[in-house]
Amino acid sequence: MSDRREPDAAVWWQHGVVYQVYPRSFRDANGDGIGDLAGVLEKIDYLSGTLGVDAIWLSPFYPSPMADFGYDVSDYCDVDPTFGDLATFDALVAAAHARGVRIIVDFVPGHTSNQHAWFQASRSSRDNPYRDWYVWRDPKPDGSPPNNWAATFGGSAWQRDDLTGQLYLHSYLPEQTDLNWRNPAVRAAMLDVLRFWLDRSVDGFRMDALGRIAKDPLLRDNPVNPEATGDFHKAMGDYDRQIHVNDQRHEDIHGYLAEMRTVLDRYEAADGRPRVAIGEIHIYDLSELGRYYGATLDELHLPFNFGLLKLPWAARAIRDHVDAYEASLPPGAWPNYVLGNHDEARIATRVGVGHARLAMLLLLTLRGTPTLYYADELGMEDVPVPPERAQDPWGMRVPGLNLSRDPERAPMPWTAQPNAGFCPPDVEPWLPIAPDLAQVNVETQLGDPRSMLSLTRQLLALRRASPALTRGSYRALDWPGLPDTCYLFVRENAEERLLVALNFGDDALEVALPDGLHATLLLSTRLDRPEAAIPGALALRPAEGIVARLA
């Protein structure tokens, strides 16, 4: 039995639910087949009222050549015309704040587009003042790259530039040029980017590919990986053939994170509005992940915990991860969980549509901050994308490994009408529409009390109303005879005590409760069980999860 207790959560990013919007795919307001900020603004009442989330994380909307759909930024302090303009962004922030919803923007600190003015100046000559803003090196005498580092998106991480005869570093695409964070001028410029958006009243940042901002200063080779798998939870080809110890997460990163955190803390001190720093680190070693909170909790508020993405969908594996995560957290640190995002196959595709309901209950009842990916509240699956409609450069550069992220980025289905209410029916959307549109759309599911959307809304409402779910402790339950396919835990504080029970199996089971434990059903993933006393045993149907109040 594990037990972890912390002081009651008081700030929005602890008790709230974050909802990721991929703007290209959410709602097209101007009829060009691509989602935009005005489309998000159109749907603000769905997010704030119908669904009831607490914060919106906006994936990049900055000016960009779109080599990686906005993660190749050419101007950090503006909006790409594809998505609107700064006035539209400001209107979205104001509308969200008027409804009590916070805005988190994606911050891409590790690299710029090769079309950014900084890089264009940097590549112009070896003695340009911006030269050291990026990582340039001579090739080896035999003409090969300076080291063996591999790019995540395939091939070498070095690209020759004929203008000066040197090679520049790119951890992803050649069009995504790595910034040199060891240069104080670079760090100062990036802190100014944070200030620019904080001055526009954003409530925090999701920081992309954060480990890449700190590399080995000597640029030493990565060791060869003798194992068949790499750091990630999916095969990534040549990238997996190295142990990535020198091309990311050098110890200097902690100083850089503290500098960024200081900027956020000063804004919070000035106006009393808590800001949040969320970091994409991609570390599965929980003790290592815990270091990114900072020795005195002065770095990231929430280093993204991607552990659930790597695990088999099994009760014991998930319970062990949660228990280990709780035990590894530094004192006072706050947990968080992710089941999907714009880089991962959708949860309904990974575990099945039926188990996606169980996954939603798990995500919204664990202790900590959950991040919910758009359309997962509908049980949306990955959408097949024919080769002629492919967009994602990762999938096209590394064929044969199923690395394309297009399927999980398909347009949000609002209605059962042609093009799903995402864009006008006579306009081709940037990616194909889901084929199961008749059932998987907001309008239809709002009218169905047993739909995935209805379940998600009930879970979000229960979470908001429950002190135990928003602020309470977590304690896993175990006793002799408990089926291996069942995961039980208690969430409790001084006001209430709730039991969460999840059946990960495909068979019905009965779980006898210990003597003296009495419960009243509050919610089931099946949504067809009346609220009733549970006499002494839990009867769980296949892939069913419940929340019950304990006497």
- Report yes or no: 86 and 197 within 8 Å, Cβ to Cβ: no
- 323 CB neighbour count, 10 Å cutoff: 19
Tokens 């490994």 identify what position?
Answer: 401
For residues 95 and 242, give the distance between their C-alpha atoms in angstroms, rounded to a whole number: 47
- Nearest residue to 335 (alpha-carbon basis) of 348, 321, 316: 321
Tokens 């229960």 identify what position?
Answer: 462
Distance of CA 545 to the CA centre of its chain: 24
- Between β-strands 336-338 and 302-303, what pairing exists: parallel, antiparallel or unpaired? unpaired
Respond yes or no: is residue 406 known to be catalytic: no
For residues 459 and 361, give the distance between their C-alpha atoms in angstroms, rounded to a whole number: 7
- Report yes or no: 84 and 38 within 8 Å, Cβ to Cβ: yes
What 61-64 contacts at long range (C-beta under 8 Å, 24+ apart), as own/partner pairs, is 61/23, 61/37, 61/89, 61/105, 62/108, 64/113
- 339 CB neighbour count, 10 Å cutoff: 22
Tokens 């919204």 identify what position?
Answer: 364
Respond yes or no: is residue 280 known to be catalytic: yes
List alpha helices for 243-339, DSSP H: 253-271, 286-290, 307-310, 315-328
Sign of the alpha-carbon torsion through 520, 523, 526, 529: positive
* Residue type at position 85: D
First-residue to last-residue Cα distance in the chain: 20
DSSP 365-409: HSSSEEEEETTGGGTPPPPP--GGG---HHHHHSTTS----SGGG
- Check 80, 280, 344, 382 and give the catalytic one: 280
What 42-50 contacts at long range (C-beta under 8 Å, 24+ apart), as own/partner pairs, is 43/414, 44/92, 44/95, 44/96, 44/99, 44/101, 45/99, 46/442, 47/19, 47/21, 47/101, 48/96, 48/99, 48/100, 48/101, 49/99, 50/446, 50/457
- Report yes or no: 294 and 255 within 8 Å, Cβ to Cβ: no
18 φψ region: left (φ > 0), alpha (ψ -120 to 50), beta (else): beta
* Residue type at position 84: G
- Count of residues in the chain: 551
Q: Assign 185 to helix, strand or coil.
A: helix
- For residue 325, CA distances in Å to 460, 495, 533 come to 23, 25, 33
- Nearest residue to 104 (alpha-carbon basis) of 59, 72, 47, 70: 59
Residues designated as active site: 208, 280
